[in-house]
Amino acid sequence: MVQSDKKRRSTRSSKMVSSPVVITRMQAIMQKEMVREFLAEFMSTYVMMVFGLGSVAHMVLGGKFGSFLGVNLGFGFGVTMGVHMAGNISGAHMNAALTFTNCALGRMSWKKFPVYILGQFLGSFLAAATVYCLFYSAIIEFSGGHLTVTGPVATASIFATYLPDHSTLWRGFLDEVLVTGMLQLCLFAITDKENNPALQGTQALVIGILVVVIGVSLGMNTGYAMNPSRDLPPRFFTYIAGWGIQVFRARDWWWVPVVAPLLGAYLGGIIYLVFIGSTIARRPQILEDSMVYEDRRIPVLPKTMPNPPMTSPLTPVSVSPINRPSVRTVPPLSDPIHLEHF
């Protein structure tokens, strides 16, 4: 009995000692930059997709409770909430096409690419599972228990985009390239501090409005996926949740929302940098250790400089080249913020 009591006490004490150690290790792991960026992309993408897919579910299942405008607002303000959640941590990309563009243009290291993509894909997949669970009974009632991809009671479009009958595959491809290019082009403009960016603190709202505007004006043809992270993980979820292989076979559309946004975002980024970014004037040079006021440079005497010798107003004062203020080029105050989203 005594030995058993000692063993129990020792195990309890070891658990009490190990708990703080585990917590400390977890905190150390959470403070690593890669981990923080992964979690930021995961959570921001999850929030965006829950709001977005939920609004699509209302349109498909709810009749008067949903509309296409509601879908645009759901995705747009879902993006806004995602930017507020992760903007200062990872940039809140929430979009594999935007992450790819930033890496391809040298604005982000390629070693972060898989971290961002994994976070986005997991967040999107989990969001699809969440919406499926929330609307399961409505989906079954609407479809009569038959989970179909096409037809009058199709429900797969709640989770992923599908090509409509009035469009062809390559027209849909060009549509996704153009729409995603517009997204990236406007995002660079919104966040470029050297140009005319959105006011500090309003970037998230302006980016959300941008998504709404794109949906209202250009969303009819393909559903404006613009984002492999928005389309591919939910499509894979529907494959394993009961809709079957048809989610990948329907008009061979599944690869377009993956490839076309990558090309479109890259082209949009290049167009902005070539036609807009390269034409922005550089800041003027200023003198080192001097104040600039109304374009007049006033040298500032160092605090440790001894008092100058008394001279007559008529006595010329020679300035040694060593004591002349040096000129240096000051880089821009800040690089453009890259809050690339959705």
For residues 332 and 143, the model is more confident at: 143
CA triplet 298, 300, 301: central angle to 5 degrees?
A: 140
- Torsional sign, CA 137, 140, 145, 149: negative
The more confidently predicted of residues 6 and 317 is 6
| Of 166-180, 229-243, 252-266, 323-337, the least confident | 323-337
Task: Note the pLDDT tens digit of each residue in 183-196.
Answer: 999 999 999 999 99
Range in 40-44, 269-273, 332-336 the model is least confident about: 332-336
pLDDT band at 336 (very low <50, low <70, confident <90, very high): very low
Handedness of CA 234, 239, 241, 243 (dihedral sign): positive
Provide the pLDDT for residue 95: 97
Euclidean distance between CA atoms 190 and 199, whole angstroms: 9
Lowest mean pLDDT among 27-31, 36-40, 240-244: 27-31
What tokens does 224 get?
């404006």
d(CA 118, CA 88): 19
161 pLDDT more than 90: yes
- The residue ranking higher by pLDDT, 286 or 96, is 96
Query: What is the pairing mode between strands 286-287 and 327-328?
Result: antiparallel
**Cα–Cα distance, 42 to 36 (Å, whole number):** 10
Give the pLDDT confidence score for residue 290 in this predicted structure: 38
116 vs 2, more confident: 116
Mean pLDDT is lowest, of 116-120, 245-249, 328-332, for: 328-332
The answer, yes or no, to whether residue 291 has pLDDT greater than 50, is no
User: pLDDT for 53-94, tens place per residue?
Assistant: 999 999 999 888 999 999 999 999 999 999 999 999 999 999
Q: Which residues of 263-302 are buried (b: 16+ CB within 10 A; e: fewer)?
A: bbbbbbbbebeeeebeeeeeeeeebeeeeeeeeeeeeeee
Is the pLDDT assigned to residue 241 strictly greater than 90?
yes
**The most confident of 21-30, 116-125, 289-298, 327-336, by mean pLDDT:** 116-125
Distance between CA atoms of 182 and 186, rounded to whole angstroms?
6
With CA atoms as reference, report the closest residue to 107 among 263, 329, 266, 280: 266
Q: Which two tokens mark 261?
A: 């946004």
Q: Could you say which of 1.20.1080.10, 3.20.20.450, 3.40.50.2000, 1.20.1050.140 is the CATH number of the domain covering 31-276?
A: 1.20.1080.10
132, burial (CB in 10 Å: exposed 0-12, middle 13-18, buried 19+): buried
Indicate if the pLDDT at residue 320 is higher than 50: no
Instruction: Report the C-alpha dihedral over residues 140, 143, 148, 149, rounded to 10 degrees.
Output: -110
* In the chain, where the domains are located: 31-276
Confidence at 330, pLDDT banded by 50, 70, 90: very low
138: buried, middle or exposed (CB in 10 Å: 19+, 13-18, 0-12)? middle
Identity at 175, one-letter amino acid code: D
Predicted pLDDT of residue 113: 97
The string of DSSP letters for 197-229 reads: PPPTT-HHHHHHHHHHHHHHHH-TTT-----HH
Question: What's the burial of 204, exposed, middle or buried (CB within 10 Å: 0-12/13-18/19+)?
Answer: buried
Flag whether pLDDT at 139 surpasses 70: yes
Of residues 230 and 293, more confidence is placed in 230
Q: Which tops the pLDDT comparison, 313 or 57?
A: 57
pLDDT classification of 319: cutoffs 50, 70, 90 = very low
Q: What was the pLDDT predicted at 32?
A: 83
Return the pLDDT at 279: 81
pLDDT, mean of residues 22-36: 78
Alpha helices in the chain (DSSP H): 2-30, 33-61, 68-86, 96-104, 113-134, 136-143, 169-191, 203-218, 228-238, 246-249, 256-275
Above 80 in pLDDT, residue 176? yes
The neighbouring-strand residues paired with 298 are: 291
Confidence band, pLDDT 50/70/90 cuts, at residue 31: confident
